[in-house]
Amino acid sequence: MPRVPPGYKGPQDTTGGTPSDPATPATPGLPEGPATPGGPATPTAPALPDASGLPHHAVTPVQFETAPASWQLWWYLNRDTYLRRYLDTPSVSFTDGPAAIDASARLSHNNAPTENSTTLNALIDALHTGNAAVAPAALEALARCQADVPSEYWQQQLQARTSLSSQAIISLGLSRSPQALELLFDILKDGGAGRKALSKNRIPNRLRMEAAFALGAFGAQRGREMLNGMVADRLAEFLVFDVNAAPDLQRAAALSLAMMRPNRPQAIAEKLMRLMDEKSRPLDLQLQLPVAIAKLLEKVPSENSVKQEVLLRCWHLFQNKRNEPAMRLSAIQAIGLLADAEGPHGASMVDELKKTYSNDRNRNLRNHSLMALAYIGGRVGPEAPIVEKEILPFLLKAVRKGNKEAQSWAALSIGVMGANARELGYSQFSAPVDMALLDAFANEKSPSNRAALALSLALMEYRTASETLHTALHDTHQVDLLAYLCTSLGMLGETTCRGDFLDLISKGNVQVQLVHASSEALAMLGGTGSVDQLIPILLGENGNSMQAQAAAAFALRNFPEKKAEKALAKVLLNPDSNVWVARECCATLGVFGSDVQEMLRSRFASNLNTWVLPADLEGPEGILERL
């Protein structure tokens, strides 16, 4: 059994007195701002609320109209939905022999909480004796690993380490401790117990939002349906009854609810529907509700009366052109999640979405109408008449003749439609569709459009495209395109790229985005040789730079093997290890202790309204980067 963490005082009142274990101050001389390309970014302070209660970097509806969501943002928010199958079942075609074939085939990302006392002790040491850059990652990793420590320990971190309060709140949700739920709800409501735990006279909205997301993280766990349903009910009650809560708190609660997948989604959806009629509610919440409700009901049978009512209400929101464009966009996204192409209103909805793309002046609405068509078509398959005659030809025409931005949205939409249809057991699209996308990629000059086309070819699993994409990987120096090419080639199982991916990781002088993409692509290829080549880089045995070591630590999170865990713990236990490498080691060990849903980060924003997300969910302090 691992030892009890130092500083744990036993089950007692943690309020009052001097904290026994103050946060470790930052080490002088650490870099400020972004780290050297290829290394981890230096944490930055989260934006503080201004007088309005909104963070300084929040996106307002007016700003939204001038800063439309890109397809890259859509992919960022939804990528794990589509990468999951490739990471869960990596290619085994690259092997070192029969034994490697067997080992690679057995490799699974269905991790179990770690019971390795050496690993847990290394994380505890990193939390209590490490640098301030390492401590938050260690705290999160302990929570993910379900460390065998009393639940009060997590609560003590709220007070004893005030600089880690935000991370400690998230860790309460990740720790799977039922006792933590009451405290999280009290923090959300700015209650007395929450104020005592945080040693604050008033809990800032930012920390209350963290509590909402932490409750969402708890509720997103599997195997605890009854408890998760209770959490969802109470969050819904908070939204219904705390009418004066700050707009960002109401939005965070709705977002977390949608991601919980509660066991009674219709009941929660009906509670949220009542809020749609309360026009006094803040616009932040009003814009979130259509998609949040749609996400709750996405898997409910199409004939369900609640689902039909929500669909029709969203349809009326979309058709009313006097509504805010942002509200119409939320309705478009909800329609894409709910509409049945072969249902009584399917044909008219498809026709109206096509008209929106052709005629509407708002490019957000035009672009998202293409993705909504893809979702609708994916649910009935490529052989359905409405797909074959209406949706697919329309999207292909947009790829060939649309403007620059529309071409990328249309290309990705075709890939998403193909991937969604395949997951439901439908046949693939015909070869001419794949060939049309490959021809468009070969003749396209825009890096953004080429990236979208590459992802589409991968989503369609058109393996004939591998050679063309591999050639492009060597011919381009544009970072975003390189990253998307890595992801696409990994999804296609192009094992001849394994050396390219390892090279990008071991160089250590490439941007973080490219390191992450090449690491995931390497994991999609499977095989046991990758781990054996990453461990020496992590340990710096060949004189690798700090950036390369940190990149290797990140890459290993996709290979949950005992020898990788041992190497990561070794780095943490070495007092001479670079703090940024140690920070990545903590994060990876936390991933090793998580189940598959958490391991793939289960993007909280999956399929949710993109206008409200970037400010809350992206970047070094964004919730997506911490869950």
Instruction: Please tell me whether residue 560 adopts helix, strand or coil conformation.
Output: coil
Closest to 30 measured CA to CA, from 46, 41, 15: 41
Q: How far apart are the first and last CA of the chain?
A: 26
DSSP state of 264: -
d(CA 230, CA 361): 44
d(CA 527, CA 516): 18
* pLDDT for position 333: 92
Other Cβ atoms closer than 10 A to 9: 13
Other Cβ atoms closer than 10 A to 215: 30
The continuous run of DSSP H or E covering 253 comes out as helix 247-260
d(CA 50, CA 59): 13
Q: What are phi and psi of 55, to 5 degrees?
A: -60, 155
Residue 147's identity, in one-letter code, is: A
Identify whether the C-beta of residue 438 lies closer than 8 Å to the C-beta of residue 461. no
DSSP state of 558: G
d(CA 139, CA 360): 49
Closest to 40 measured CA to CA, from 588, 473, 487: 588
Measuring CA to CA, how many Å separate 350 from each of 137, 339, 344, 375, 412?
A: 46, 9, 12, 11, 18
* pLDDT for position 386: 93
Identify whether the C-beta of residue 623 lies closer than 8 Å to the C-beta of residue 164. no
d(CA 257, CA 264): 12
Query: What is the SS3 assignment for 254-310?
Result: HHHHHHHCCCCHHHHHHHHHHHHCCCCCCHHHHHHHHHHHHHHHCCCCCCCHHHHHH
CA angle at 223 for the pair 217 and 227, rounded to the nearest 5°:
65
Closest to 128 measured CA to CA, from 572, 591, 596: 572
CA angle at 413 for the pair 344 and 392, rounded to the nearest 5°:
60
Measuring CA to CA, how many Å separate 272 from each of 84, 185, 238, 451, 499?
A: 30, 19, 11, 38, 50
DSSP state of 84: H
Q: What residues are paired with 49 via a beta bridge?
A: 55
Instruction: Please tell me whether residue 55 adopts helix, strand or coil conformation.
Output: strand
Tens of pLDDT, residues 412-422 = 999 999 999 99
d(CA 563, CA 558): 13
CA atoms within 13 Å, Cβ hemisphere of 548: 21
Residue 555's identity, in one-letter code, is: A
Q: What are phi and psi of 88, to 5 degrees?
A: -75, -35
Sign of CA dihedral 440, 441, 442, 443: positive
Identify whether the C-beta of residue 375 lies closer than 8 Å to the C-beta of residue 349. no
* pLDDT for position 607: 58
* pLDDT for position 85: 77
d(CA 469, CA 481): 11
Other Cβ atoms closer than 10 A to 129: 13
Identify whether the C-beta of residue 329 lies closer than 8 Å to the C-beta of residue 365. yes
Tokens, residue 30 = 């650490």
How big is the chain by its Cα radius of gyration, in Å? Answer: 24
Query: What is the SS3 assignment for 600-625?
Result: CCCCCCCCCCHHHCHHHHCCCCCHHH
CA 277 to chain centre: 30
DSSP 86-132: HHHS---SS-SSHHHHHHHHH----------HHHHHHHHHHHHHS-T
* pLDDT for position 224: 60
d(CA 620, CA 460): 32
* pLDDT for position 155: 61
Tokens, residue 18 = 């001097």
Tokens, residue 48 = 């503080």
Residue ranges of the chain with per-residue pLDDT less than 50: 1-67, 92-111, 113, 596-603, 605
DSSP 449-481: HHHHHHHHHHHTT-GGGHHHHHHHHHH---HHH
